[in-house]
Amino acid sequence: MTASPDASPTTSIVIIGDRFMLPGMFERAIRDKCGDRPVDIRSHEMPWPDEPMEHGYAKAGMDGLKEYQGDADEIVSLVGDAEIVVTQLAPFSAGMMDRLPNLRLIAVSRGGPVNIDMAAARARKIRVVNTPGRNASAVAEFTIGAILAETRLITRGHESLRRGEWRGDLYRADLTGEELSEMTVGVVGYGHVGTKVVRLLKAFGCRVLVHDPYVQLSVDDLNDGVEQASMERLIAESDVVTLHARVTAETRGFFGTAQFAAMKPGAFFVNTARGPLVDYAALTEALKSRHLRGAAIETFAVEPVPPDWELLQLDNVTLTPHIAGASVKTVKYAAERAAEEVRRYLAGEPPLNPC
Ligand SMILES: NC(=O)C1=CN([C@@H]2O[C@H](COP(=O)(O)OP(=O)(O)OC[C@H]3O[C@@H](n4cnc5c(N)ncnc54)[C@H](O)[C@@H]3O)[C@@H](O)[C@H]2O)C=CC1
Ligand SMILES: O=C(O)C(=O)COP(=O)(O)O
């Protein structure tokens, strides 16, 4: 059908999807929101690379961009003359933007737009929007599961039964857990995920300590007895320590030999945040010596981890392959927000989440 001469020009939108975006969901959301506008949407799936990379999806070193997936030339050719790009992991460097003169909006479904050169985008007046907290409830729920997997020995019980071993005497010491209602849980980082972890923990009746030097506790949490603590106090008093900070110059290597030694004997350690926050060789020693009773680890500095890695062989750790944020709700929410950002851009409205 030919457009009438006075019709608005068609806006070209390119979606660069990956395994976190679920095929078709972003395109459907944009069509639902922007159906009354002439849009031409092209969706591409980026193949997932097999080789181990930083956090599983970061190639290091393209103009300081991090946690990205995809080749610059390939992405430039996929985007072509499009005005809008919707992506999660595709990188956009200054050099790539120079080759994409029509690009005006990048909707990036990330907590932080670490795969986009923000200074370059600002200089070229490209609007960049993101979706902070899109996976926060997914990670928070998963974290509670990871804590329970260790404190209630769900993983140990599972492994025991897989080996054909019933529980033995009630109560076999290695399958006798500890209840959160009697524990102190230390939450490091009180951002999108950390605040939700605290909210869920309160239902268990445990004492909750929070360490985050940059944020004040909410009035609700203060009224519910949650305490702000120095890192030293949190480490010394917690039966479970759970990490929810981003990797910065300050937080990189946050937990090493000294911190694990200062934790209570028999305490548990949980990391669903990022591998570089932790010295995993030091954690391995703390678990082997049984100074720590258990750990639940979900993210690593380089992913996938080698199958013969010592941490994977220990009997007092629950390990998952970086799946805490991956829920259907996360993707639905991200698609909905990206579509709303596209609608706002097309309608000349201000963005929901400008970067
Ligand atoms: N396993 C998974 O699938 C996922 C993991 N993540 C990770 O979870 C972590 C938390 O994510 P969000 O809550 O969205 O981040 P966020 O940016 O909302 O919160 C991070 C918090 O860390 C705090 N922080 C900064 N320096 C600190 C320090 N020295 N000590 C204590 N706290 C400090 C900040 O003030 C902020 O409140 C990040 O590392 C993120 O990469 C996020 C999503 C999915
Ligand atoms: O760690 C993951 O799985 C992520 O999805 C990264 O979350 P982010 O976009 O950095 O908040």
Tell me which residue has its CA closest to atom 2 in ligand 2. Answer: 325
Judge if 146 and 266 occupy the same domain. Answer: yes
Please indicate, yes or no, whether residues 62 and 173 belong to a single structural domain of this protein: no
Q: How far away, in angstroms, is 10 Cα from ligand 2 center?
A: 32
For 4, half-sphere exposure in the C-beta direction (CA atoms, 13 angstrom radius) is 2
What Cα–Cα distance (Å) separates residue 9 from each residue in 12, 30, 43, 46?
9, 17, 20, 28
Q: What does the pLDDT read at residue 199? A: 98
pLDDT value of residue 70: 85
In a domain, 1, yes or no: no
- CA 195 – ligand 1 centroid, Å: 10
Question: Which residue's CA is the closest to the ligand 1 atom numbered 29?
Answer: 251
- Check if the beta carbon of residue 111 is closer than 8 Å to that of residue 134: yes
**Residue 235's CATH number:** 3.40.50.720
Asked if residue 304 belongs to a domain, the reply is yes
Split the chain (355 residues) into runs of 10 and give each run's mean pLDDT.
58 88 88 91 82 63 80 93 95 96 96 93 98 95 98 95 83 87 98 98 98 98 98 98 96 97 98 97 98 97 91 97 93 94 97 96
* pLDDT for res 143: 99
Residue 353 lies in a domain: no
* Ligand 2 atom 10 nearest Cα: 111
Residues 75 and 143 in one domain: no
In this structure, are residues 132 and 246 in contact, taking their beta carbons and an 8 Å threshold? no
Tally of structural domains, the chain:
2
Q: What positions carry a catalytic annotation?
A: 274, 303, 322
Residue closest via CA to ligand 2's atom 3 equals 325
CA of 258 from ligand 1 middle (Å) equals: 22
Determine the structural domain holding residue 104 and report its residue range: 11-134+328-346
- Helical pair 328-346 and 136-151, crossing angle rounded to 10 deg: 170
Q: Which atom of ligand 2 is nearest to the CA of 130?
A: 9
Assess contact for 340 and 33: CB atoms under 8 A.
yes
Which of 19, 89, 135 is the pocket-test mutation for ligand 2 (most atoms within 8 Å of CB)? 135
Q: Comparing C-alpha atoms, which of 185, 89, 205, 183 is closest to residue 143?
A: 185
Which atom of ligand 2 sits closest to the CA of residue 88? 9
Residue 123 lies inside a defined structural domain of this protein:
yes
Which residue has the CA at smallest separation from atom 5 of ligand 2? Answer: 325
- Give the pLDDT score at 3: 43
Lining ligand 2 with CB less than 6 A are: 110-112, 135, 322, 325
What's the ipTM?
Answer: 0.98
114 CA to centre of ligand 2 in angstroms = 10
If asked whether residues 140 and 265 sit together in one domain, one would say yes
Indicate whether 352 belongs to any domain.
no
Instruction: Report residues whose beta carbon is within 6 angstroms of any ligand 1 atom.
Output: 111, 135-136, 139, 188-194, 211-215, 244-246, 248, 250-251, 272-274, 298-299, 322, 324-325
Question: Is residue 355 a part of any domain in this protein?
Answer: no
Helix (H) or strand (E) holding 157: helix 154-162
What is the number of the ligand 1 atom nearest to the C-alpha of 298? 1
| 178 and 290 share one domain | yes
Whole-number Å distance, alpha carbon 240 to ligand 1 midpoint, is 18
Distance 301 CA to ligand 2 centre (A): 14
* Ligand sitting nearest the alpha carbon of 275: 1
